[in-house]
Amino acid sequence: MSAIIHPIAPNSSASWHGQLELDYAQRDGKTIPDRVFVQAPLKVQRPFYPEEEVCHTVMLHTAGGIVGGDRLSLNVNLQPQTHALITSAAAAKIYRSNGREAQQTTQIRVGTAACLEWLPQETIVFDGAQYAQQLKVELEPEAVWMGWEITRLGRSARGERFETGYWRSKIEVWQNNAPDGGTASRRLLWVDPQGIQGGHEMMTSLHGLAGYPVIASFVFVGRGVSPELVKAARAAWHSPEKPIEPLQEEPLITLHESAHQIGVTRLRAGLLCRYRGDSTLEAKRWFVRVWELVRSGELGRSVCVPRVWQV
């Protein structure tokens, strides 16, 4: 693995223009980071192998949070027949804007018969933040991608509401079925544009967030799934709580007693789960169960929780 660390030159601007580039290759049946390029404040920890063949990678944002004017660019490439799981070391924090928009752009390419699990920890958007993110995934033949996005609007535990600012997110997943990489058979599998304006009627409308500060999505894309998997994902919300290591010391949440709302949809080539409620931990615990179902049924693997999670 080659690693390049590119420091930021001092200047008068308080904003960051961070970059992260990851290229994964297969060596002797094991996925390894073949090339890593980082530019502050983005970094990655050394790879972990709790599953041997699958490379677990933990991203870090060393500045502690994202402010107005920050530009973060992530580029991830998986070569054919590789398998990587990427997560983050802690929740991302989007601070109140200084008048400028903060942006994050992520480009992901998953090679033939490869799999990427994109499972960052939650994002906390402070009141007054102005933030836009775009994530684009390109799947080669037989490739699959699964990811989640868990967002808290305002620090509601401190009584903060998302009254001003905005949060925007757009995810696109494309698939190329041509073995030679031609564009003729390239098709859009799933697109998910979202936008929340602070203080807007959408925050309280029953057709919007209905007063809930947490919204979350889990998606598996790349191949069709059975109706049984959809039913199992719904049932996972109502099933009794079961231990998942590592556990926090707080009592476990019983999901079926929650008043929060969930939905599960069978996509043309995948599965989509939605959550709106009060708890990022609750959303993550349900998503972990769905992740376990998808891993077992579609990948033939048991769940392996990254060490940095608290679920």
Quickly list DSSP for 75-97.
EEEE-TT-EEEEEESS-EEEPPP
Task: Determine phi and psi for 302, rounding to 5 degrees.
Answer: -80, 160
Q: Is the pLDDT of residue 149 over 60?
A: yes
Is 306 within the bounds of a domain?
no
Instruction: Give the residue with greater pLDDT, 241 vs 302.
Output: 302
Task: Determine phi and psi for 100, rounding to 5 degrees.
Answer: -115, 155
Retrieve residue 251's tokens.
């009592």
Task: Tell me what pLDDT residue 1 has.
Answer: 54
Share of the chain above pLDDT 70, in %: 86
pLDDT band for position 107 (cuts 50, 70, 90) = very high
Task: Tell me what pLDDT residue 250 has.
Answer: 33
Task: Identify the CA nearest to 22 among candidates 8, 3, 48.
Answer: 3
Is 311 within the bounds of a domain?
no
Upper half-sphere CA count for residue 227 (Cβ side, 13 Å): 0
Is 308 within the bounds of a domain?
no
- Per-residue HEC secondary structure of 178-204 comes to CCCCCCCCEEEEEEEEEEEECCCHHHC
Is 40 within the bounds of a domain?
yes
CA 234-237-242 angle, 5° bins:
130
Q: Greatest CA span in the chain, whole angstroms?
A: 57
Chain segment 256-281, per-residue pLDDT in tens: 344 578 999 999 999 999 999 999 99
pTM, whole model, 2 decimals? 0.87
3-state helix, strand, coil in the chain (%, to 5): 15, 45, 45
- Peptide linkage before 246 cis (omega within 30 of 0): yes
Q: How far apart are the first and last CA of the chain?
A: 31
Is 47 within the bounds of a domain?
yes
* Helices and strands: H and E segment counts in the chain: 2, 18
pLDDT band for position 181 (cuts 50, 70, 90) = low
Helix (H) or strand (E) holding 263, with range, is strand 261-267
Bridge partners of residue 175, in order along the sequence = 139, 187
Is 307 within the bounds of a domain?
no
Least confident interval from 44-53, 77-86, 255-264, 293-302: 255-264
pLDDT band for position 251 (cuts 50, 70, 90) = very low
Q: Is-contact 147 88, C-beta < 8 A? A: no
Is 12 within the bounds of a domain?
no
Q: What is the mean pLDDT of residues 24-46?
A: 95
Task: Tell me what pLDDT residue 311 has.
Answer: 60
The total number of structural domains in the chain stands at 1
Is 128 within the bounds of a domain?
yes
- How many angstroms separate the CA atoms of 149 and 172, rounded? 13
Summary mean pLDDT of the chain? 87
The residue range of the domain holding 23 is 2-7+19-299
